[in-house]
Amino acid sequence: MELGAFPCLSWSNSESSSNQTLNQFLKIRPSKRWLMLGSHAALCDNQLWTAWHCSVRRFFRKTSLARTIDAEFIRFIAGTHHISEAFQRAGVSDTDVKGWIIYLPEIQENNSLDNGMSPSVEYKDNFETTAIGILESLKLTPSYSSLELNLENADKLGMDINDLDFDNLEDALIGFVLSSEFHT
């Protein structure tokens, strides 16, 4: 099922430390469905939707390893079952001057594991307005960068890129996300 663009927006920062920004973000975000990733961590829509599916399925089954949906999502992005390692691999570091703000859509009502999990479409109405409002209150600038497949960034996530052909990167990245399911 093609879900289209994942609700994410790139940002840049020139004023304060990323740790201060992240701490402030955690205080003002509307819910735990809003999170920030390092600029290297979000590479393509299919990667993000795969991590979303894995996260919501784990929460639906009550088998998540993380206590919150945002941490579970970051765990899948980082391809690990270790929460602290996931934040080191995919989170915003203190030296980052850019990154991503992400929204994890709610699932549609009446979803079940048998019928598949689909995101509720309401997020599309307010995502960008809410994301820009959050960024402005953090004194961050929306940069509107596009997601971009990049071997070096995949390596930063902890993915083995030796002998990986760039043409296979998206498929390998999805496999990397899914590998978190099998290592738990």
Residue found by looking up tokens 């307005």 in the block: 129
Burial of 83-102, coded b for 16+ CB within 10 Å and e otherwise, reads beebbebbbbeeebebbbbb
Q: 46: helix, coil or strand?
A: helix
pLDDT at 115 > cutoff 80: no
1 pLDDT more than 60:
no
Domains belonging to the chain, first-starting first, are: 8-182 (3.30.2380.10)
Least confident range from 19-28, 36-45, 115-124: namely 115-124
More confidently predicted of 154 and 20:
154
SS3 32: coil
Given a cut of 80, is residue 117 above it in pLDDT? no
Report the pLDDT value the prediction gives residue 72, as an integer from 0 to 100. 97
Q: Which of 74, 73, 75, 96 is nearest to 14 (CA)?
A: 96
